[in-house]
Every structure is written in structure tokens, then in C-alpha cells.
């Protein structure tokens, strides 16, 4: 079922998503749960969310829409802290296989626990049904973006 486009509502929706992302990122970075930036937390979340223990640097860069070089810098900082491990990719010497460590899983869990009280406070008064509906809509938008051809 195609919804008739209402440009004002669509612009408002994407503006609100951008504002929420910006405010959450700033709050997270100010408190730095488990001593991680949002970018580092996002990489660990990628592994947890997908149920993968490893991925290649190039696929991580693609998933985050980052350059391989920028992703390599973020991964190096997590490897240095023991949260990820990296080794050369057997099929491509220019790539590397990146794996989340048990220490990385523990740091992710710690960060989630540290931000839990604030998240609960932020969501106070919003029903679980509304959250699930919002999640479903935002996931559909993300899936569509994920499947767009690269520019």
C-alpha cells in the first residue's frame, strides 16, 4: 500500500530522526559509557545485533558508509583496547577479518547497562506498542536505504 507523499510530514519525520540522533550521540559521548565513543559502540553493536562474531573491514566500512581507511582507524582503536581482534583476510591481502572479543562483548553489555537508566527515563510515558510501531517504520526506512545503489 503506497502512502500519498506529504512532503511537509516527510521532511518533519527525517528532521526529527536527525535531531534525536544528534542529541543521543551528544549525550552518549558526554557520559562515555564503558569509555567508548558512539562510533566505537556502534561497531560493537553491529556484531551483537547481527549475531556475527566476525566480519571483514570492507564489509564493516560498507555497512557504516565509511571509507576503508576511516573504518580501519576506528577498528585499530578497538583492537588496541582488546575489544576487537583483527587478522589479514585470507582471500584478499588488502582486507582484514575483524572479530569481536569476549572483552568487547562485555564492554558493550557494560555500556548498555550504564545508559539503561537514562534510556528508561527518556522513554517514560511511551507505550511499548508505540515503540514497536516506531521501530518497525524506522527499520523499513533503513532497509530501503541499505538497498539503494551506491552513489
Alpha carbon distance 99, 113 (integer Å): 22
Instruction: Provide the whole-model pTM.
Output: 0.83
Q: Where do the domains of the chain lie, and which CATH numbers do they carry?
A: 26-126 (1.10.10.10)
The grid coordinates of residue 134 equal: 516506531
Residues whose CB falls within 8 Å of the CB of residue 29, separated by 6 or more in sequence, listed in order: 37, 38
Alpha carbon distance 92, 131 (integer Å): 42
Instruction: Give the tens place of pLDDT for each residue, 55-114.
Output: 999 999 998 989 999 999 999 999 999 999 999 999 888 899 999 999 999 999 999 999
Amino acid at each position: 500500500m503506497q502512502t500519498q507523499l506529504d512532503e511537509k510530514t516527510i521532511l518533519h519525520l527525517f528532521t526529527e530522526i536527525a535531531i534525536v540522533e544528534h542529541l543521543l550521540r551528544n549525550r552518549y559521548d558526554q557520559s562515555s559509557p564503558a569509555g567508548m565513543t558512539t562510533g566505537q559502540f556502534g561497531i560493537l553493536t553491529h556484531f551483537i545485533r547481527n549475531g556475527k562474531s566476525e566480519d571483514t573491514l570492507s564489509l564493516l566500512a560498507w555497512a557504516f558508509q565509511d571509507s576503508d581507511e576511516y573504518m580501519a582507524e576506528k577498528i585499530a582503536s578497538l583492537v588496541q583496547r582488546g575489544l576487537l581482534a583483527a587478522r589479514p583476510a585470507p582471500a584478499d591481502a588488502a582486507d582484514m577479518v575483524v572479530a569481536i572479543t569476549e572483552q568487547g562483548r562485555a564492554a558493550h553489555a557494560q555500556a548498555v547497562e550504564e545508559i539503561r537508566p537514562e534510556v528508561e527515563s527518556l522513554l517514560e510515558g511511551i507505550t511499548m506498542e508505540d515503540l514497536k510501531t516506531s521501530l518497525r517504520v524506522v527499520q523499513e526506512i533503513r532497509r530501503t536505504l541499505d538497498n539503494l545503489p551506491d552513489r
